[in-house]
Structure 1
Amino acid sequence: MTAAPSRPAGRGETRGWGTFAALPADRTLIMGVLNLTPDSFSDGGAHAGVEAAVSHALAMVEAGADVVDVGGESTRPGAAPVDPAEEQRRTLEVISRLAERDVVVSADTKHAATARAAVEAGAQIVNDVSGTELSEEMIAACAAAGVPYVLTHARGDSRTMDARAEYDDVVEEVRAELLTQRGRLIAGGVAPERIILDPGLGFAKGGEQDWRLLARLDRLTSLGHPVLVAASRKRFIGTALARSRGVDAVPAGERDTATAAISALAAERGAWAVRVHDVAATADALAVTRSWLAAERPPRPGAAPRTHPITEHQN
């Protein structure tokens, strides 16, 4: 396995990769979570204010984040919806400031107006958790912007999704519903090579359903799109840890070690990226994974480095 590319020179300050096309294609990437909301399930309000948000984002980049996912609306179960104008007030200046530092930013939004504004501010990815509620307006906005789009599986919204976590075969039904939405995206002008799939852990999923999706990640990677795994600190991890410890509950902030383990396993299964709160722990876990896999499957003499189609097609 070839060595991972080095980040661009920082001129004495923390800087990112600059462009989506510059992101490494020979390893699983790390997407750091930047919640600019007062009510996110694990860190709501922790990074209030532009300066605090930018500082935290740059610290994640320094720790190993390749992408920073900026969100201004909580998607935790039961969260109240946020008006796009308020969402943009929370996020756009932060996105612009990070883009000035060459950070590759993902805009975490369900709103087409926010997606358009975020791309104009410098975001290079749209991360949408609308799922089956994906709007035609969002499809048109992402097709026009020409940026990579994360298609997440979900049913309903934050207030209704828990009641819709009913499946006969969660893996095959999630796969089929993602394929349906992929078809809509392509028909609406989104280039297939710009589509990233996310199984939507925790979104209209409950407990063992999340674990089943992780165990059969190959059913998504086999579709030929990059796959993002966003497990960080979610309920199903807390439930498993509580059961193991013999306690009633494990707080979200105590789930980072387990998240790093999931990141390592997801990388071994071919995930394009993992979305996490604690970047440093996952960076270490992925470094060990790379060394393990390199020893297990050394490259053939003269073989080209592994790449992924989404990187090859970026301008």
Structure 2
Amino acid sequence: MAEVYLRPMGILHGAEARAAIASGVAVPLAGGPAAFSLAQILARDEAKNKVIEIGGLTSTSDAILKERLQALMAPRAPVAGLDFSRPLVMGIVNVTPDSFSDGGEFADSAEAIRQGRALAAAGADILDIGGESTRPFSQGTDLDEERQRVIPVIEALRDTGVPISIDTRKSSMMIEAVSAGAAIVNDVSALTYDAASPDAVARLQVPVILMHSQGPPETMQVDPTYEHVLLDVYDSLAGHIARAEEAGINRGTIIADPGIGFGKTHLHNMQLMAGLSLFHGLGVPLLLGASRKGFIGTITGEKEARHRISGSVSAAMAGMQQGIQMVRVHDVRETVQALAVWFRLNDPR
């Protein structure tokens, strides 16, 4: 458990970021195109919380704060050949009959393949293919069934030129998917569901996404509780990253996901979304998966997940404003358009 945390504030983008860095009033955020001019010092003893200007932080003699600042500033390594000169868009391909978001619309392999090609054509940087629903209270999927769902889709989509991510909790599925053409492992259990997963990922030598969840899908929404959701999720992810490194996984290949909607109440989700920039302190790229999720429906009153497109794009843009390096979305075309306009407005050049 960390004693002190730093959350970047005053985040700038594009021309404003470059000008602020040049004038010394801001520093780069994660070595990318964004910068930050303020930082909030957080502690579990809230009486110690305060906001400090970047000049005061860069000149501090506090070794812990210096270490935290370096983690915030350090460049992130490319993932599957993709750098973070701009936020990346991961398109979701659910090959499941019971997904919360699309109701099994792409459960058939042929439909999933068509959807994957459509997302690639719409501008997806990564295709995330999963054959097991992890919606709240779901019961899991047999390995053979999961294999039959995803392997044909991966094999068919590996010629798109878009890196493929395999969304699975099972080590055997990770190995087979990478053999079939996947380049990234995305595990909602952060390699804790299957004891063989850390070793498998270390041997595969592919990037891995470690997501936070308070419990498995079957029970994660049964009264989720936290002492301080931002700091608790941060500490949990820091622990997952440390254990992955102990298993032989290169830190430069790790991506962290705070797990919006996975073992969180509506208030927890709101607090995480508001404080996303804190997780840059983990020193790894960040992925936000908020697309079509329940908190959007709670805010807007929209009960049908597939009709939460506008809210999902807004959530993705909120993450990008906080410097998130990747967003995982169902609605790629709309998100890519929003990103293109936002990026150009921030940097007309």
Q: Is 1:116 aligned with 2:169?
A: no
Is the strand fraction higher in 1 or 2?
2
Shift of 1:48: 3.0
Deviation track 1:175-223 (CA, whole Å, cap 9, x = no partner) reads: 0011111111000000000000000000001101111111111110122
Deviation track 1:210-269 (CA, whole Å, cap 9, x = no partner) reads: 111111111101221000000000111110111xxxxxx521111110110111121121
Match of 1:263, as an amino acid? A
Name 1:93's counterpart in structure 2: 152
Shift of 1:164: 5.0
Distance 1:289 1:172, change over 3 A: same
2-structure distance, mates of 1:186, 1:164 = 31
Name 1:32's counterpart in structure 2: 91
Distance 1:134 1:183, change over 3 A: farther
2-structure distance, mates of 1:102, 1:20 = 14
Name 2:162's counterpart in structure 1: 103
* TM-score calculated relative to the size of structure 1: 0.83
Name 1:73's counterpart in structure 2: 132
Name 1:251's counterpart in structure 2: 304
Q: 2:252 aligns with which of 190, 193, 196?
A: 193
1-structure distance, mates of 2:162, 2:190 = 27
Question: Contact 1:50–1:94 (CA<8 Å) still a contact in 2?
Answer: yes
Q: 1:289 aligns with which of 342, 346, 349?
A: 342
Question: Contact 1:106–1:125 (CA<8 Å) still a contact in 2?
Answer: yes
Name 1:51's counterpart in structure 2: 110
> Any idea what SS the aligned residue of 2:105 has?
coil
The structure with the largest alpha-carbon Rg is: 2
Name 1:235's counterpart in structure 2: 294
Q: 2:197 aligns with which of 122, 127, 138?
A: 138
Aligned length: 274
Name 1:7's counterpart in structure 2: none
Shift of 1:67: 0.5
Match of 1:256, as an amino acid? I
Name 1:225's counterpart in structure 2: 284
Name 1:266's counterpart in structure 2: 319
Shift of 1:132: 8.0
1-structure distance, mates of 2:89, 2:150 = 20
Identity across the alignment (%) = 38
* TM-score calculated relative to the size of structure 2: 0.75
> Any idea what SS the aligned residue of 1:161 has?
coil
Question: Contact 2:191–2:210 (CA<8 Å) still a contact in 1?
Answer: no
Question: Any unmatched runs of 5+ in structure 1?
Answer: 3-18, 243-248, 299-315
Question: Contact 2:95–2:109 (CA<8 Å) still a contact in 1?
Answer: no
Shift of 1:280: 1.0
Shift of 1:131: 4.0
